Amino acid sequence: MQADRLAFLAPQSLSEDLRVSAAQPGVGEIDVWGFGLDAPGDQTIRFESLLDSDERERARRLLRPRDRERFIAAHGATRLILAAYVGLHPTQIRFVHSAHGKPHLVPVPGCADLTFSLSHSRERGLLAVARGRPVGADLECTRDDIDVLAIARRFFSPQECDALGAVAAQSRSQAFFRYWVAKEALLKAVGVGLTLPTDRFTLRFVGDLASVQPHELAQLEAYQHVRTLDIEAGWYAAFCAAGRDWTLRFRTGR
């Protein structure tokens, strides 16, 4: 079922019998899934049982128990959702990673062009699923205890820094995070991480859409815009995919 707005599912609602109606997104659609990460103990154990050895090792390296449990929930939920698309058990999902670490699904017959992007922040996770084009998603909880202008001067273009500096001080943190999630979503879609200099491209916002001005960065030529979502007070999400002819579908699994 498609929802009118993004809702965050309880982790207990994600299980092996998850149903995805109209399973494959259309070529011009990005399916968006939101889910909580603070799962009951028995659900965390079940999520962990779905992970492969690499994911379990990455979880073990996290020192704080809550971070470890949320990582397990994020990756277990991702496996459950992707498995519903491709018709496999979650433990049968296989990933390969690009040279820059971006995960890709090992092709499955009938779903060879399925792409995805996972993001998680604090107690929430976000998954974008698309077909036939790279996709990137980012989710962040805003903070007021950081010097956003100092960070912007390090990572944003001069034009973005000027735009941020013109925002009223009481709203500057929110404006900063809107830029931040949009830049992260674009980098995730391109799949090169921070090897791409983030101060050498500019995002210009009109409403919730940011146009991409690549400043001669060839890697960005296929990416026309980034869409942001103001989910609720203190939270921002952003999505990016190649081209401009795509829309978002908010999914519930029913």
Yes or no: say if 82 and 116 are a contact pair by the CB < 8 Å rule.
Answer: yes
* The residue to which tokens 């002819």 are assigned: 245
What 3 state SS string does 146-190 have? CCHHHHHHHHCCHHHHHHHHCCCHHHHHHHHHHHHHHHHHHHHHH
Shared domain for 148 and 195, answered yes or no, is yes
pTM listed for this prediction = 0.93
Shared domain for 100 and 127, answered yes or no, is yes
Q: What is the pLDDT of residue 22?
A: 47
Residue ranges making up the domain that contains 127: 2-134
Successive 10-residue mean pLDDT values, the chain, 254 residues: 76 79 75 94 94 96 96 96 90 90 86 90 95 94 90 95 94 93 94 82 93 83 90 91 90 74
Shared domain for 130 and 25, answered yes or no, is yes
Q: How does DSSP assign 58-115, residue by residue? A: HHHT--SHHHHHHHHHHHHHHHHHHHHHHTS-GGG--EEE-TT--EEEPP-TT-TTEE
CATH number of the domain that 143 lies in?
Answer: 3.90.470.20
Does a structural domain hold residue 153?
Answer: yes
Q: What is the pLDDT of residue 111?
A: 77
**Of 69, 101, 134, which marks where a domain is finished?**
134
Q: What is the pLDDT of residue 2?
A: 57
* The residue to which tokens 């205890």 are assigned: 145
Shared domain for 214 and 239, answered yes or no, is yes
Domain count, the chain: 2
